[in-house]
Amino acid sequence: MPPTPLTLAHHAENLWQALHPLWPDFSVEVLPSIDSTNTELMRRARQGLDRPELLVAEVQTAGRGRLGKSWHSEPGQSLAFSLAVPMAPQDWSGLSLAVGVSVAQALGEDVMLKWPNDLWYQGRKLGGILVETAMPAQPAASGSARVAVIGIGINIARPPGTAVQLAPHANGLPPVAPAGLAEIQMGVTAGEALEAVCKPLATDIGHFVQDGFAAFLQRFRARDALAGCDVVLSDGTQGVASGVDADGALLVRTGSGMRAINSSEVSVRPC
């Protein structure tokens, strides 16, 4: 008889044991269902959360992505979690890209990162990342002024295209087809993906606090899904994606010169 697969809670327990030496006050919580793990951890952060905390949900009913897009998870078919970390880096620029690089490397050598926070596999969307920060009502005694809440959603099974709800794109480009991690790692479970992602992510967060995005620039270049591609911005501007600068801003070579894109309200798509 084959061994019984570990539950999500067991994988979370493994994570707690693995990360306890790095974060002695680290806590993990697994819920059967929640509206949004990011929303809940942002609430806790504003109320004074002063330790790293991982919140994982079997089902997420109202997950949030960039630009107000929704993310819905199904038991076993996707992984949805958020990690809150009180931190005080010298420069917050590029945190979302640093997280994306860490997650992409953990998932497989063919997983790419589409600026600023989409995980891509063979030109299709595998997952997304939403990074938010909160100021506690009363700063913690540790002196960390802000809490970063890192939300990550990953398709485990490849969802049918009809199951992905995407708002019409302003420039008329077709929606991005979905991908699933099981295409890369046959038989992988949400719990296994959780462990694979979170262990290196915790270490990489420490690298970011210490050295900023500079520690991730070369790693990002190796995962840059848009490098050299013709792209169109949400305002209709077209150009060629030319990497990112030292702060993580996307560089786009347009007819009027090089343009640095660093606004979270700008959407970028390959032509």
Sheet holding 257-261, edge to edge: 257-261, 250-254, 238-244, 230-233, 268-270
Tell me whether residue 70 is in a domain: yes
216 and 94, same domain (yes or no) = yes
The answer as to whether 166 is a domain residue is: yes
Residue at 115: amino acid letter: W
CA 171 to CA 176: how far, in whole Å?
14
Q: At what angle do helices 190-211 and 95-107 cross, to 10 degrees?
A: 140
Tally the domains of the chain.
Answer: 2
263 and 188 part of one domain: no
Residue 251 and residue 198 share a domain:
no
Say yes or no: 27 and 74 in one domain. Answer: yes
The region of weakest confidence among 60-69, 131-140, 173-182 is: 60-69
Residue 271 is part of a domain; what is its CATH number? Answer: 2.30.30.100
Residue 3 included in any domain = no
Same domain, 149 and 113: yes
Residue 246 lies in domain:
226-271
Query: Is the same domain home to 231 and 116?
Result: no
Q: Are residues 124 and 206 in the same domain?
A: yes
Residue range 189-246, pLDDT digits in tens: 999 999 999 999 999 999 999 999 999 999 999 999 999 999 988 788 889 999 999 9
pLDDT band, very low/low/confident/very high, at 122 (cuts 50, 70, 90): very high
